[in-house]
Each structure stands twice: as structure tokens, then as C-alpha cells.
Amino acid sequence: MREYLYKILVVGDLGTGKTSIIRRYVHNIFSTNYKSTIGVDFALKVIQWGPDIIVRLQLWDIAGQERFGNMTRVYYKEALGAIVVYDITRPQTFEGVTKWKRDIDAKVALPEAWGGGQIPVILLANKTDLIQEGHGQHANPAELDHFCKENGFIQWFETSAKDNSNIEEATRSLISAIVELQQENVNNDNHDENNVSLDQQYQQQTQNSGCC
């Protein structure tokens, strides 16, 4: 049995529903009475990902105003994935999406053993339940597809913590991307180890076989 520990950042402007998403995903509860997160909060979820893989998720709920502080570099350290959230009924929160993504790209990267580079990030258009109440409108799929491609998001989802829609699917998409990177790294390590052992065997053979 293999166990993977993944630190996931959940970021976005103030009031976009980050805490609600995390609590729905981890505890399957929803409330309209959450107070704004101050600094950072944490949640843990253990997932039986496959017959021989357990994934332990550390979800870091970063306060909406933290992007303007200097602590995000500390909060982001060793993260392997991120979720950027905006409120689909408040277009101004979408304007913050690119700023959060640039902040993540500037302050955290995949481990060097994994080849470095940007961590996988998904985009959530949250609070779709409010659209049914006459607030805002659904995202334009073609526009968001183009936006994600241009800005390095691996995928986007419309979500609602209240209705519990697409939160599980979105999170599985992000975990899948990280697990794939993890397994590629393991396979590369095994390949390197095999090469080392073969090289060592070759050197021993050449040392043991003298010409005279």
C-alpha cells in the first residue's frame, strides 16, 4: 500500500466560497454563516484512491486578502496543486483569478525530482445555485476553455457548495493530475535505479574479466 500526502491550496478573492467548498468536500456540510477566514485555515481528507493507493489531502484555505500580504510564500511552500475560486455572480472576482494564478506560479513549483515547473491548478466558477435565483449567468464554455489554456489552468468547473455540485468531480480532476505526476516520478526513479544497478553489474563484470 502506497500513501501520498498532497498539500492543496484553495485561493480566490474574499467571499467567493472557498471555505464552503472545503467544508462541503471534507465534511459534507454547508452553512451560510461562515466567517471570513483570517490568514489560513486547514482541513484534512483521507481518500482510498485505488486498491493500493491512499491519498491524504491537506487543504489550505488561504484568506482572500492574503494575496496582498507577504505570507503567501510561506503558505504556498511545498504545495503540489491549487484550486482558484471565483464567484460566478460577481464578475469582479473573476478579475482576481489571473492575479492569484500569477502569484502561485511565482511562489511555488513542483519538486525538482518531478522536473519542477508549475503545479497543477484548476479553476472553479462557484455559487451556481445563485444563478437559479436570478443572480448572474452561467460561464461561457468556449471563453473559459480559452482562458484556462492561455493562463495554464488544467481544467475548470462550475460548482456550488450549497447544492454540492461538481465539487467532488473538480477535486478528483486535480488529484488525478498530481497522482499521475507522482507515479511518473516513481517510475522514473525505478528506471534510474535499474540503470544504476545495470551499470554497477557491468563495471563488476569488466573488473572481474581480465584480459590476461
The overall average pLDDT reported for the chain is 86
Model pTM score: 0.84
The 10s digit of each residue's pLDDT in 83-135 is 999 999 999 999 999 999 999 999 999 999 998 999 999 999 999 999 988 88
Which of the four pLDDT bands, split at 50, 70 and 90, describes residue 180?
A: very high
Write the pLDDT tens digit of every residue in 153-171. 999 999 999 999 999 999 9
Question: What fold, for 2-188?
Answer: Rossmann fold (3.40.50)
What pLDDT does 134 receive? 84
- Domain range list for the chain: 2-188
Half-sphere exposure of 119 (CA within 13 A, CB side): 29
